[in-house]
Amino acid sequence: MSTVTRDEVWELFREVARSSAENSLQLAENSLQLKETDRLIKELRESQKETDRQFKETDRKFKETDRKINELNDLFTSQWGRLMESLVEGDLVKILNQRGIAISDTSTRLKGKRADGGNFEFDILAHNGHEVVVIEVKTTLRPDDVKKFLHKLGQMKQWLPRYANNTLYGGVAWLTAVAGAEDMAVNQGLFSIRATGNSASIVNTQDFRPKAW
């Protein structure tokens, strides 16, 4: 049986100590790496939060810009529409009289509420106590505009009973007309009134006879 010398024992102790130190160092390095990883994760999360905040701020600014653009468009459309109405109304009595409808005065923007709670609006009314010519004003006249106006015109006596005993005629006034909208209006018995530089004129043929409602 061999005897372990003191030197061998000390060498064994030193080896254990070195191994323990190396393990401790490795554990310390692992701990540092975990802390670094945790720090990087926290930084990434903070960065993501900042990115999200910037995205939200950018989205808010886009929405605000869109809102302002829409407001400007609405303002332009509204002002342009009023200019068109004023132009058409100024000539309406004259051009209708020329077509044999003895209109004496006009009014604009007749608004009200329907029985179902909805709203209605008629742009221009020309009247003489017995006859009423209702005009829808559009900068660009489209077929859907004609269809919607015909529906409104068909409901007018129900919505406004005071006109129940009047003869109603209809007309569309426009600056430009697309996709056969003008022909549709004329074929449905409506006056077609074109607004030009500083006046308005009826473009229906002289033998045109408007439909009465």
Give the model's pLDDT for residue 81.
58
CA dihedral 148, 149, 154, 160 (to 10 degrees): 110
In a domain, residue 138? The reply is yes
For residue 172, the enclosing domain spans 87-202
* pLDDT (tens digit per residue) in 43-102: 778 878 777 777 677 667 666 655 644 444 444 345 555 777 888 888 899 999 999 999
Domain of residue 144, CATH code: 3.40.1350.10
In a domain, residue 145? The reply is yes
The pLDDT confidence band at residue 170, using thresholds 50, 70 and 90, is: very high
In a domain, residue 74? The reply is no
Whole-prediction pTM: 0.63
- Number of domains making up the chain: 1
* pLDDT (tens digit per residue) in 114-160: 878 789 999 999 999 899 999 999 989 999 999 999 999 999 999 99
In a domain, residue 91? The reply is yes
In a domain, residue 162? The reply is yes
> Which distant-in-sequence residues (6+ apart) come within 8 Å of 149 by Cβ?
136, 170, 172, 190
Query: Taken in order 154, 88, 194, 130, is the CA torsion positive or negative?
Result: positive
* pLDDT (tens digit per residue) in 5-55: 777 666 766 776 677 667 766 776 777 787 878 787 887 788 787 777 776
H helix runs in 135-197, sequence order: 143-159, 181-187
In a domain, residue 6? The reply is no
